[in-house]
Structure 1
Amino acid sequence: MEVVIQRKARKRWRLFRLWLRLLLIVLVLGAGSAVSLLSYIKMQGPPPLQVSQTTVLYGHDMSVIGEHHQGQQRYWVALDEISPYLKEATISIEDRKFYQHHGFDLTRIGGAVVANLRAGSMAQGASTITQQYARNLYLGHDKTWNRKAQEALYALRLEMHYTKDDILEGYLNTIYYGHGAYGIEAAAQHFFGKKAANLTLAEASMLAGVPKGPSYYSPLVDEDRAKARQEIILQSMVENGYITAQEAEEAINEALDYVTDGGMRSETIGPYFQDVVEEQLVEEVGLDPALLESGGLHIYTTLDPHMQEEAERWVEVEMPDSDLQVALVAIDPSTGDVRALVGGKNYGESSFNRATKARRSPGSSFKPFLYYAALEQGFTPASTLISEPTTFSYDQGRSTYSPRNFQDRYKDDFVTLLQALAFSDNIFAVKTHMFLGTDELVETARRFGIESPLRDIPSLALGTLPVGVLELTKSYVPFANNGFTVEPRFITKVVDRDGNVLYEQMPETEQTLDPRLTFIMADLMTAMFDPSLNDYMSVTGSSVNHLVNRPVAGKSGSTSTDSWMVGFTPQLVTGVWIGYDQSETLNHGTEGQVAKRIWANFTEHALENELMLQFRQPPGVVSVNMNPSNGFLANDVCPNGRKTFFVEGTEPTEGCPEEARDNETDAIDEENHEKERFLDRFIRWFH
């Protein structure tokens, strides 16, 4: 009997040792597997945290002018830019042991497994914030064991390589709150029109309940249901010691003010302008288009939303209901910053940017470059040439050119440079061009910033070769800022979601032209708005001078197919072009003044809150009271004088001679004689 007992005891001992060995083997294998898994995860490195985020474009005043989000509103904010109430509410309802576990809540997992086995499905989940974050970043939302296993691996990698605050920040910036809003910043803007940092306890506890079922618990869908979940969250916050019962009660009773569209959402302002920004970032800066589209970038631009609004408003008001097209560019002459840009009448109908891509003949708006070159070569505002029909010979006599004045009006007498520019006398311009040498204008235009192909031909003085609207407008900038050329700037800075500056552009200005001569040219270009100068022709700005109540200067231009107005104040240079895309002939009777009206109305209203500044007179420039018709100093013989500026030492020093009085008398007598002859003919006809 004793032997049998001993055998049984030895057998049990052998079984015990076998199970012990098996257990040890399992433990060793398990530990080895765990070590291998952790080593593998460690070697994998931190998983990438890049998610699709809304790229935001800002205007000059830091307001939002546009967004790229691929249907997902998402703005990344740092953890310290999120309301503490929201963080506490989220942890309380989603993962109260978040700061204690290492990615998994074993108690919750165990309970969920039991429940799921009983149900025979994956009906319940026990995902921690880390696991949910891993799912948002890398996985779908299908409820399978395979997905849960992958989720666990990613959660381990996140916990191993990132801090708890990093994980919480990422989670709150990627979780879906419904209505296209991804992340707490987008949700705060969408539901309450405020930043996530400013959420109250009541607002935070309401939003914390939405991610469990964005279409089910949204207060914009069913406020009663959302309110019930808010109460659960507030009670959980009390139990976790984040708030008191009294604070919870006050939050429950607080009436919430919802908005239907958040402050970060915006209509696209200046779509043609934004196209230029995107093209520059991709083609010139070298940004990846995918990063630009959904990389959460903050793009700071030079656009002034008020000026852009005025530009679009006056285009809409003044443009006729036809196929006529338009382009407008407004530039700050001190920096080159583009403040407004219109590339067409309707972006929805045509996204072709005529302000930057089209090339059209500028007509007489090209003349200021010619007259600057003339001033360099010794001309002054008092210089005179005869305005009369003229045929010019060039190319060593093999070719001729016969320009005409508007409506074939000529003085058939001497005209001052001041008058010639105010009336846009073509004969005076071509005579000046030929006298200087046709290559002089090409070189001068280049110095002002004209980059389009030019040829030294007689007609270049009248702007027959095409240029761009942006190109011509920026080339007028030296007239407004005493000789500084600029490079148009659309972008000031690009910052990624982490605050790193990816690109920054400073203003590019350079003193390349004589400030005395550019100032004199600016003064000469004010003459187009001075009807007191009217003579054998009218000043070209007489139809719009009443629309602008501040010192302005500029030059209009027209061809059979194009109409231009480029003008400026000390604060703003604006160019406007109108014409047909297919270069159809303009009806100058009805369409010829549209560019001027758009320019004048835009300039007046865009600067309505700005000081009325005079153009700054540089040293070395003096003014005299000059008779604009003959270039002499005004006196009793020629009393009609105009304050005119000259480089010191080149100003007129003699007053009008007596012959001028005789000429004026002759002109009066001739006029009376014409009246008498007409009266005689009328009387004879009547009898």
Structure 2
Amino acid sequence: MEITTRRGKTRKSKLRGLFRLTMVLAIVGVLSLLFIFIYAYTLGPPPMELSQSTTLYSADGEVINEQHRGRQREWTDLEDVSPYVIDAFISVEDRKFYEHHGFDYTRIAGAVLKNIQTLSMSQGASTITQQYARNLFLNHDKTWDRKIREAFYTLRLEWHVPKEDILEGYINTINFGHGAYGIEQAAQMYFDTPASELNAAQSALVAGLPRGPSYYSPYAHPDRAEDRQELILSMMHEQDVLSTEEYEEAIHYELTYETSEDEQSTVAPYFQDTVERELVERYDLDPEIVEAGGLNIYTTLDPDLQETAERYMESELPGDDPVQGAVVSMDPHSGDVKAMVGGKDYRESPFNRAVDARRSPGSAFKPFLYYAALENGFTPATPLKSEPTSFPNPDGEDPYEPGNYEGVYANDFITLAQAIAYSDNIFAVKTHVLQEAEALIETAEAAGIESPLSPNLSLALGTSEVSVLELTNAYSPFANGGEHVEHRLIERVEDHKGNVLLETEPEKEEVFDPALAYIMTDLMTLMFDTRMNDYTSVTGHSIAHLLQRPAAGKSGSTPSDSWMVGFTPELVTGVWVGYDDNTELEHSEHGQTAKRIWINTLEGSLDDGLKQDFSTPEGVEEVDIDVGTGLLADEACGPSYTVAFLENTAPQDSCVEMIEDKEADEEAQEEQEERENEKLMDKLKRWFSTHEE
């Protein structure tokens, strides 16, 4: 019994010790918090200093824009802001704003629990006061030091600044996207109306933007923006700040967007928007750092090239014509984007067609097809017959029957070199069939195409949609000797103290054989070689006289799109022209527009530069080919063209021999046609069999 009593006393003694320790820690904690609160209170209100301006520099160090994120905001008194705006922000950002003292502990606990469950940091719990405190900082690093100082700022704001003043400061300092900082700029830019006159639908839209100004941009991503607007309206309704009648009216209100005449971004505005987006989405820079400002962003932009591209876009696409366009110019060796035009007029439409639009490239996609063919044994002199062709479908559906532009066919054998110069669609689809089903897709993806590609016969004619930036970048391996390069807009980012936050280097990977890349480039120069004109003209004949330097390229068209992508050794440029709503183009009017923008931008930007030629790699030889026969040229035969071959792969026979034995030639041609048809049918069966698997 004594032993049991002694054990019981020991256990009680331990419990009393643990209780005393807990009480001591609790007292110390309370005293510490009390000291912190008293200290924060005695500090008085925080200095209401706003963030510094962010400066963007071009590749040559010229300032292209200074984004004023400080005192140059247009400040609006709270009483001059629509009540719907206040209700929308409180509903979505901080429904207990008028009740808490800076921190919503229930939300904090919920966010912590959610982040533990998802093993992420996706959930935040910042109150409006905390967000406003954050906007007053010059340094937004995610460090404990910054978090502690932010907490002090939050307490000092709550204790010394009225709630209405906190709310007023908050809505006047947050980022609404596209250069709009503060509610007045946002109201004017998006809806061309004062902040005092925003209705419930408009207020919910702008209240949804600060969480992700680029992600929820109503210009770039209208569906995302309006989904979030509807969510906020439903929250306002649930919290009884909107009656059922007001909610129904707002949810059915048709939003129309304006842009301010005083838009800050005047130099390369589409480029600047993409820079801001990529800082967060591509390079994972903290959005709070970007929003706070005080950054020096060094970009790859060439202001002269940008001005040239904008000027020729404007001259070719007048403002009274609803047809739109986009231009991207890049250095094919580094991936540096030198110019970007996302539309005719940023003030009318900030939607970036160079990056965010996906359109069918038509024949501008064929270089990837023909590079794959070169890898699989084709040569520039490989012959296939250009004639109306019906490609059977083994599933019993209607056959695929592509056609050439304006129904023009050779009705004879032509070479691969002629097929790309004339943009013969029949030759292209036959080439696609005579390879493995995935050959084209694998080649395009290696070059840098990331958009989904459909493995069907029509892919040879560019029916899968891509962006202008994506397709332009994918031409780089042809221009640089076989290397895929990642596009780059940002070289370096520094904070206001000169600390480097981000520094990038060109990203390269060899994906094409240098010799075959050169041969493909050489083939693409033929679209400008009018000596090849035969039963039809080369596709670049309308601008060939304007070309003053070695260049290669490929045009493309669909009923709704016109493309031109081409390059010199130092610059690759892509141009798209079309209607936003996919209205069919009048090709008699706009069929050559993309080519003219391309050639004028190219020549205008390189006018004073050296006229470099493409360097020929080892293992390649130049051979003269007769236009009429596709065999070795001779003066006795007629027009010819010069094209590159891998050594020992050029034709061995002379065109003269075929002319001298015309009858034998006709017999040989019949035999060749029979062999082609048999081979095509066998490949079709195998192609579809592979596709089904």
TM over 0.5: yes
Structure 1 residue 312 corresponds to structure 2 residue 310: yes
Corresponding residue number in structure 1 for 2:289: 291
Corresponding residue number in structure 2 for 1:493: 492
In structure 2, give the amino acid aligned to 1:550: R
Corresponding residue number in structure 1 for 2:506: 507
Corresponding residue number in structure 1 for 2:71: 72
SS state at 2:637 partner: coil
SS state at 2:473 partner: helix
SS state at 1:443 partner: helix
Summarize the Cα distance change of 1:280–1:269 in structure 2 as closer, same or farther, 3 Å threshold: same
Distance 1:404 1:414 in 2: 16
Distance 2:264 2:582 in 1: 36
- Match runs of 1:408-557 below 5 Å: 408-557=407-556
> Scaled by the length of structure 1, what TM-score is found?
0.61
Q: CA deviation at 1:40?
A: 6.7
In structure 2, give the amino acid aligned to 1:271: P
- Aligned alpha-carbon RMSD (Å): 3.0
In structure 1, give the amino acid aligned to 2:274: V
Of stretches 308-317 and 447-456 in structure 1, the one that deviates more from structure 2 is 447-456
Distance 1:355 1:361 in 2: 13
Corresponding residue number in structure 2 for 1:25: none
Corresponding residue number in structure 1 for 2:231: none
Corresponding residue number in structure 1 for 2:333: 334
Of stretches 433-442 and 571-580 in structure 1, the one that deviates more from structure 2 is 433-442
Corresponding residue number in structure 1 for 2:679: none
Distance 2:440 2:512 in 1: 14
Asked whether the 8 Å contact 2:334–2:506 carries over to 1, the reply is: yes
Q: CA deviation at 1:51?
A: 4.7
Asked whether the 8 Å contact 2:528–2:538 carries over to 1, the reply is: yes
Asked whether the 8 Å contact 2:627–2:638 carries over to 1, the reply is: no
Distance 1:597 1:266 in 2: 30
Summarize the Cα distance change of 1:395–1:49 in structure 2 as closer, same or farther, 3 Å threshold: farther
Distance 2:286 2:460 in 1: 44
Asked whether the 8 Å contact 2:364–2:564 carries over to 1, the reply is: yes
Of stretches 393-402 and 452-461 in structure 1, the one that deviates more from structure 2 is 393-402
Corresponding residue number in structure 2 for 1:660: 659
Q: CA deviation at 1:50?
A: 7.5
Summarize the Cα distance change of 1:613–1:399 in structure 2 as closer, same or farther, 3 Å threshold: same
% same residue: 56
Summarize the Cα distance change of 1:442–1:355 in structure 2 as closer, same or farther, 3 Å threshold: same
Asked whether the 8 Å contact 1:423–1:538 carries over to 2, the reply is: yes
Summarize the Cα distance change of 1:266–1:346 in structure 2 as closer, same or farther, 3 Å threshold: closer
Distance 2:50 2:347 in 1: 30
Q: Which runs of 5+ in 2 are unaligned?
A: 1-34, 74-135, 138-152, 154-262, 667-693
Distance 2:329 2:48 in 1: 41
Of stretches 359-368 and 289-298 in structure 1, the one that deviates more from structure 2 is 289-298
Corresponding residue number in structure 1 for 2:188: none
Distance 2:543 2:349 in 1: 29
Distance 2:282 2:638 in 1: 58
Q: CA deviation at 1:624?
A: 1.4
Structure 1 residue 274 corresponds to structure 2 residue 272: yes
**How many residues get paired?**
445
Q: CA deviation at 1:476?
A: 0.5
Structure 1 residue 380 corresponds to structure 2 residue 403: no
For each residue in 1:267-293, what CA deviation from the matched residue of structure 2 results, as whole angstroms up to 9, or x when unmatched?
631000000000011223333444324
Distance 1:49 1:481 in 2: 53
SS state at 1:568 partner: strand
Distance 2:564 2:385 in 1: 26
Asked whether the 8 Å contact 2:531–2:639 carries over to 1, the reply is: no
Q: CA deviation at 1:612?
A: 0.6
SS state at 2:325 partner: strand
Q: CA deviation at 1:312?
A: 0.2
Q: Which runs of 5+ in 1 are unaligned?
A: 1-35, 75-136, 139-153, 155-264, 668-687
In structure 2, give the amino acid aligned to 1:280: E
Asked whether the 8 Å contact 2:69–2:293 carries over to 1, the reply is: no
Corresponding residue number in structure 2 for 1:592: 591
Distance 1:512 1:439 in 2: 16
Q: CA deviation at 1:649?
A: 1.9
Summarize the Cα distance change of 1:654–1:662 in structure 2 as closer, same or farther, 3 Å threshold: closer
SS state at 1:401 partner: coil
Distance 1:377 1:303 in 2: 39
In structure 1, give the amino acid aligned to 2:356: K
For each residue in 1:290-322, what CA deviation from the matched residue of structure 2 results, as whole angstroms up to 9, or x when unmatched?
432443100000010000000000001111431
Distance 2:496 2:49 in 1: 10
Summarize the Cα distance change of 1:397–1:440 in structure 2 as closer, same or farther, 3 Å threshold: farther
Distance 1:566 1:295 in 2: 37
Structure label with greater radius of gyration: 1
Asked whether the 8 Å contact 2:628–2:638 carries over to 1, the reply is: no
